[in-house]
Amino acid sequence: MIREFSIVFQNADRLLAGLANTVLLAAFGLLLALVLGGLLSVLLMSESKSVALPARALVDAMRCIPFLLLAYLVYYALPSIGLNFDNWTSGLLAIVIYNAGYMAEILRGVWMQLPTETIDAATAFGFHGRRLFMRIILPQVVLTAIPMIGNQAIQVIKDTAFLMIIAVPELTHAASSIQSKYYVPFAAFICAVALYWAMCGVIEFAVHRVEKIADARR
Amino acid sequence: MSTADAMTAADLLSLLQGTVVTVALSVSGIAIGVPAGLALALLLWRRVPLLRHIIPLYVSIIRATPLVTLGLLIYFALPAMGLQIGPVTAAVVTLAINTTAFNCEIWRAGLIDFPRDQIESAQAFGMSWPHIVWRIMLPQVVRTCLPALVNEMTLLLKGSPAIAVIGIVDVTRAAVRIGANTYEPLPPFLVATAIYAGIVFVFVRMQRWLEAFSLRDEAET
């Protein structure tokens, strides 16, 4: 057992490179998904049916399919329409498209619950359109949605592990390659699990801190 | 090219077989995970020494662990420790270990919210603990937990393609194989999407039916 773990520690650089890829994929994926989801939520809240319905269809489709299926679709189907990306980029693209749907739904849910007083007051002060959204609605929605965004961030980190199947060199892929070279399955995967656990711990801590700041501002 | 041109009857059959695999493995995981989660939640709720520290640790670790990683760990590490298991067993164990943790959280929340006065009056009537749990608490807690439990079932279903890494051919894997053979990935992927949506729909309908059933049950008593 100790020998197994020492082999993994000798290959720590590979594991850490995988960890770095997982962190980068999750961080960029989450950020872009949040931006895209914010735009989608505006479409979802639109009073025009011809705008809201296609957005609704896209969001519902994302919530129905497994992430791996979408990742495969992006990986295999895009080249057939002439778009070629490397594995890393198609993995990132899959994360962004998939989670934009979830983010849109989270933000829309919070938006619907928003007290109307602040919005009424803002319109009385002459806020409307883009300025109303950017200055009044969005800050409140994002602050309230922080715990849910944190949960989704944990989901994104876990979803990146699927990308090993399309050969993206992320954390589970690194653990798997160490295990297949030295045959140390227990140590390799337990180390990966510990690193995933640590990442989620960081996110939970960050959400806790941001919530405190948000509470102080209310 | 239309779906019918790209995919043969054999392709559709393999998607159907994949569907059976996906449903069978997910349902097995749920069948173990729902009662196991309840058992852990009850142990937590009764503050059993030692376990009250171990169970939250288990839940916290599993909540952070991807199904792919868990599947690989179980499939490769258990045989290395001398426990021979096949891919199907490994898949069911993986899904069960995963969903048990999430179900434990759901049941725990349901138990915490349970009104104490009902328990106290049941005790005043001299009911034993197993009796109180089975006859008083469970019927009510099941109803409050049902939406969250069904939601977790659909999440497990969407996570189930992870077991492809240990060589099991589920709907997703079957669709990928067809796409690779026909060079037309879109049609099988769309069929697979429809299949997942269909299974989720069945789960949600089942929830409605169970809710109606438990309400009718209450009306009769």
Alpha carbon distance A35, B25 (integer Å)? 36
According to the model, what pLDDT value does residue A129 have?
81
Share of chain B above pLDDT 90, in %: 67
pLDDT of residue A196: 97
Concatenated DSSP letters for chain A? -HHHHHHHHHTHHHHHHHHHHHHHHHHHHHHHHHHHHHHHHHHHT-S-HHHHHHHHHHHHHHHHS-HHHHHHIIIIIHHHTT----HHHHHHHHHHHHHHHHHHHHHHHHHHHS-HHHHHHHHHTT--HHHIIIIIIHHHHHHHHHHHHHHHHHHHHHHHGGGGGGT---HHHHHHHHHHHH--HHHHHHHHHHHHHHHHHHHHHHHHHHHHHHHHH-
d(CA A159, CA B199): 21
Sequence letter at residue B84 = Q
Sign of CA dihedral A186, A191, A196, A197: positive
Q: Would you say the C-alpha torsion B48, B50, B56, B61 has a positive or negative sign?
A: negative
By Cβ distance, the residue of A80, A176, A196 closest to B72 is: A176
Residues from chain A that touch B180, judged by Cβ atoms under 8 A, are 76
**pLDDT tens sequence across B98-131:** 999 999 999 999 998 898 899 999 999 999 988 9
Q: What is the pLDDT of residue B108?
A: 94
- 3-class SS string, chain B: CCHHHHCCHHHHHHHHHHHHHHHHHHHHHHHHHHHHHHHHHHHHHCCCCCHHHHHHHHHHHHHHCCHHHHHHHHHHHHHHCCCCCCHHHHHHHHHHHHHHHHHHHHHHHHHHCCCHHHHHHHHHCCCCHHHHHHHHHHHHHHHHHHHHHHHHHHHHHHHHHHHHHHCCCCHHHHHHHHHHHHCCCHHHHHHHHHHHHHHHHHHHHHHHHHHHHHHHHHHHC
* Residue B148: Cβ within 10 Å count: 16
**CA atoms of B49 and A130, how far apart (whole Å):** 56
Nearest-Cα distance to chain B for A68, in Å, is: 7
Residue A77's pLDDT band, with cuts at 50, 70 and 90, is: confident
Tell me which architecture the domain covering B20-170 has in CATH.
Answer: Orthogonal Bundle (1.10)
Residue with more model confidence, A178 or A77: A178
Q: How many residues does chain A have?
A: 218
| Domain at A2-217: CATH architecture | Orthogonal Bundle (1.10)
Q: Residue A189: which of B72, B184, B193 has the nearest Cβ? A: B72
B82-95 pLDDT, tens digit per residue, is 898 999 999 999 99
| Min Cα–Cα distance to chain B from A80, Å | 8
Closest by CA to B64, choosing from A163, A70, A22, is A22
Q: Are A95 and A160 in contact (CB under 8 A)?
A: yes
Chain A residues in contact with B66 (beta carbon < 8 A): 157-162, 172, 196
A72 and B172: CB-CB below 8 Å? yes
Confidence band of B220 (pLDDT split at 50, 70, 90): low
Regarding an ipTM greater than 0.95, the answer is no
- Pick the residue of A8, A15, A76, A97 with the most B CBs within 10 A to test the interface with B by mutation: A76
- Block residue for tokens 């173990």: B32
Contact list in A for residue B159 (CB cut-off 8 A) is 66
Question: Domain spans of chain A?
Answer: 2-217
The beta-carbon neighbor of A164 closest among B68, B175, B180 is B68
Cross-chain residue pair B69–A68, CB shorter than 8 Å: no
* Residue ranges per structural domain of chain B: 20-170
Q: Which residues of B touch A (CB under 8 A)?
A: 60-61, 63-70, 72-73, 76-77, 80-81, 157-162, 164-165, 172, 175-176, 179-180, 183-186, 189, 192-193, 196-197, 200
Q: Is the pTM above the cut of 0.95? A: no
pLDDT band at B6; cut points 50, 70, 90: low
- Cβ contacts from A onto B, under 8 A: 121
Asked if A192's CB is within 8 angstroms of B162's CB, the reply is no
Does B159 sit within 8 Å of A69, measured CB to CB?
A: no
Contact flag B76-A76 (C-beta cutoff 8 Å): no
Q: Could you tell me which chain B residue has the CA closest to the CA of A187? A: B77
